[in-house]
Structure 1
Amino acid sequence: MDTSSPAAFVNGALLRRYIGQKVRAVVQVIRSDIGSVTGKSTDDQQIVVKGSPPPSLTTYLEVIGIAESENTIRADVWTNFGDNFDAGNYNELCRREEVMNELKVEVESNSSSQESLPKPQAMYRCKKCRRIVAIEENIVPHEPGKGEECFAWKKRSGNYAERVQCSSIFVEPMKWMQNIHDGTVEEKLLCLGCNARLGYFNWAGMQCSCGAWVNPAFQLHKSRLDECKSEPNPNQGTV
């Protein structure tokens, strides 16, 4: 069993692909028994989670553990996610990670050839240590909000006419974000290279400076990053 690698984000359909590996899933609790919880995955499939659930459970629960079968997880970490959760967004995260894994396998299988992927048009580095933390393909776009009128009155300055620009980028969860695999709902995002604070994540979502609500949110502050542009090489990927 592979317990050392980061947990893969799964729903019911993807669970069968990771038997014997570490996974994380969000389930809607149907029944709680001694030593197990029966619930629905975010794509409405029944999952049985074995282990020691906390004494009080919310409607939605995130579990991290080993996939024992196509519908069973042996969980080590249990985290209450509240009574409201956007299952559609979580399924989209699962789909994105699966696509990234498939691309990784494809790239590794061709590593002995002379072919290479085109360089991304934009990459984002930690301003302090210059470590690459995201590329253009990792960005999760959102529709700009309506500015200050979207915020609670305590957070408003009164200048509603000015359209506020996004001071952060929102990305998909990535392996360097070590603390997202610890079962916490929200926490700081720290650079893996120099431990500088780059942003914040919250599975329940957070508000961008433009007023838009992003859920779930993995936020990187532009002030902590250097954006590097590169032009794709038209000769790359050719034999």
Structure 2
Amino acid sequence: MPVLAPGDAAQATRRPIVSNGVAAHLTTFIGSNRYMASEAPPPGPEAVYPMAFLVEQPAGSVVDSHFHEANQFQLVVAGHGTLGAHAVQPIAVHYSNAYSAYGPITAGEDGLQYLTLRNGYDRGARYLPAAREELRGVRRRFRAAVADAGPPGEAPEQATTEVLLAQAPDGLGARRHRLPPGAALQGPDPADGDGQFWVVTAGALRAADGATLPALSCAFVGPEEAPFAVTAGKAGLEVVVMQYPRWRDHVAAG
């Protein structure tokens, strides 16, 4: 079954954190992380393990360049700033393979808020240049992309789809769907990739089991699942669907 994470329920986990010297806030939606750990032992790098949390980075702060042990999407949902050389604002999507450094992330005058979304467990950021030695001997395929779809809008009269990251042969891709009230949407076949995250950026999403996800909620669909079928709520729906690539080069290399 898909993992559903309503944003209003996740707010109970919001807490202050300090990472790389930056004081921020983190809200956990799905999975455990270094700031909200589970009692269960962490899964291995080959396991599909969804992680989703919201980072609220304060105005003017800078998170240094770093990398992670898992493939990752980031979706900017509020504020402005830069990611490396790219200006980002809602709704910008960024993807980076495991062991592929990116950044720095600089928050603008109104701060920067972004969802971090992974399909495998990660122990936390490895900052450069201190962690550069960890990249030695790791066969990695660097891939990073930023697409800016513009801010959420009012519900359209007809369903529209916007390609943010064109789907690659390995399944990696991202699209934004905008639906009028009551319209139906079926996502891509999860078997084409290595898991999907669906993030509601406006309106509401109704799942087949009747569960409703309001704005700033997310769902994870595993690669073994059937295509995710949803309908738009009374105010319509805007949702960003992000799919991970099938292969994990960092696991094979290990």
Q: State if a TM-score over 0.5 links the two structures.
A: no
TM-score by length of 2: 0.26
Kindly name which structure, 1 or 2, has the bigger radius of gyration based on alpha carbons. Answer: 1
More strand by share: 2
Q: Which has the higher contact order (CA 8 A, sep 6+)?
A: 2
TM-score by length of 1: 0.27
More helix by share: 1
